[in-house]
Structure 1
């Protein structure tokens, strides 16, 4: 189904210096199971920065354009799309291509914008909540009454994981790199946030949990955190890695894995197939959207940049001082 406009603006990466600029290209047409969204907001995520640097190429079949999540208004539908109609406001997980004023989104990866959340704010929801739900609850199997730790608690992922785990009945802990970031984690619902630049988080959290340790750990750091996670995990603990910002390699003593019956797992969201992502979206709408509408889980927005200042948004992400999500305001 065609639209009135014949072109759209997208963000292009200059391979020579990794800078970002807006260019025009032909307006895409949604496939049978896709929708075309006039974008209001787009989320900035660390994988975008890695892709810009040439370290995280788009998987086969995905758009090479940066951007993994958008919010906006549906303006065209593929022939097999039944749930949505033109004019619907949605947020959704893209298979790339979110840094655009019009983006293609698989229809089953779209969700309605929750009541009480603005169309722009909704751009902060898909990537982090798909990631947290899959890794903490589907893979990590976090249950009410358990201890949960998220490293990087003030990040986009962390700022979603803390209130969601708390709302699901867990006792939540976090690590972060400054007093301000630790305070933000505790404001979000963490019982204790440890400044890893000032304290050994293993000792601090063993003390905070009265020696029990942690049942589920969500780690995006890797490196020497891998061994520390093994030490901190409790009996039958689950450790889920979603990134390895300090490195993929580490010398590990596996005795804690054996003696404590630990489960080590990891995943990337982007490489999962359409049915897996559709299943996550379905569970989010059933389990998490009511929590958002009740106010138990809210997007924490660090900053919003105009579309033509996408380079500044990436600088903010790379600087590491942000607390919560960084967004692009693409359109109204």
Structure 2
């Protein structure tokens, strides 16, 4: 098999910790009629990668690849027979249905976004999951608008840093929780108004103090069950709790009478299980609403660190340490 027909890729033969990640040589994928094959130059880590590696994540039925990685940036190297908008040689970034931890992966044509002039592959790879999630959760599900308020948990995460900037861009007051004093300082630098280190204070009490007893309109939560009761307590009348992660518990106790009497809403969201048409629509909204803001520098991807593909185990260990601020990127 010629070298142009194969690629290096990260595989997981037996689920486990970072040591389960190995580099192997695999056949390069062949694009379908409406797919691009992208020569990957950068791929971002996400928490679902950790779950998939450990065997705790069930792939959606439309997964293009069982390999890890859901957002990449690179150069188009081949296109399917029905593709008209893209040609080999163009620089693109976007969400993919798996396969991002490899030298080449498939991308649906409707999910591809041109890399802006002057952007690096690392900047581009750090953008789509964070900003698509922030827009879809805060604005589409949460209805966040100017003059309202939001609490962003895990404010120093890749998605958290995007949520802070998206909320500020629409004119909302932004509060946050983080895991360290350094992350607290950096979230304030992104435009947030106030926050707490979660091990040092009760965030619900802090929110009620900041809002003079009212509570916030929206909460962006990655924690799950462990924070459920406090999240509901921190919401205002008619407020929305947006569950976009379940890092600390699939179940939680709460006084449901408060949900009824205060007209609270609990909504969940994940991008990966969406249908292809829905993902294309998500990409279109991102491209129209946030790509101009990103190009103008009014919001930006926050990058913690980069690792060569050969050090993918170290990259996973770094994410699992919770020491990162922003996105962790693999460079190929």
TM-score by length of 2: 0.96
Deviations 1:16-67 (A, max 9, x none): 6542111111111111111000111000111001100000132223111000
1:50-65 pair list within 5 angstroms: 50-62=51-63, 63-65=65-67
Equivalent positions of 1:175-214 (< 5 A) are 175-214=177-216
Equivalent in the alignment of 2:7: 8
CA distance in 1, matches of 2:88, 2:43: 20
Q: Which runs of 5 or more structure 2 residues have no equivalent in the other structure?
A: none
Match of 1:248 in 2: 250
Q: Which residue of 2 aligns with 1:262?
A: 264
Q: Which moved more, 1:320-329 or 1:204-213?
A: 204-213
Superposition deviation, residue 116 in structure 1? 4.5
Contact 1:39–1:73 (Cα < 8 Å) also in 2: yes
1:296 aligns with 2:278: no
Distance 1:34 1:174 in 2: 39
Is 1:42 matched up with 2:43?
A: yes
SS where residue 5 of structure 1 aligns? helix
* 2:24 corresponding residue in structure 1: 23
Aligned partners of 1:25, 1:121: CA distance in 2, in Å? 27
Cα root mean square deviation, aligned: 1.4
Q: Secondary structure at the match of 2:134?
A: helix
Aligned twin of 1:32: 33
Asked if structure 2 preserves the Cα contact closer than 8 Å seen for 1:183 and 1:193, the reply is no
CA contact (8 A) 1:164 1:296 kept: no
Compare 253-262 and 68-77 and name the one that shifted more.
253-262
Give the corresponding residue for 1:311. Answer: 313
Instruction: Give the TM-score of the pair, scaled to structure 1.
Output: 0.96
Is there any run of 5+ residues in structure 1 with no aligned partner, and where?
Answer: none
1:138 matches 2:158: no
May I ask how many residue pairs the two structures share in their alignment? 328
Q: Spell out structure 1 runs of 4+ moving beyond 3 A.
A: none
1:122-161 superposed matches below 5 A:
122-161=124-163
Q: Counterpart of 1:168?
A: 170
**How do 1:215-230 and structure 2 match up within 5 A?**
215-230=217-232
- Conservation of the 8 A alpha-carbon contact between 1:167 and 1:291: no
3-state SS of paired residue (2:4): coil
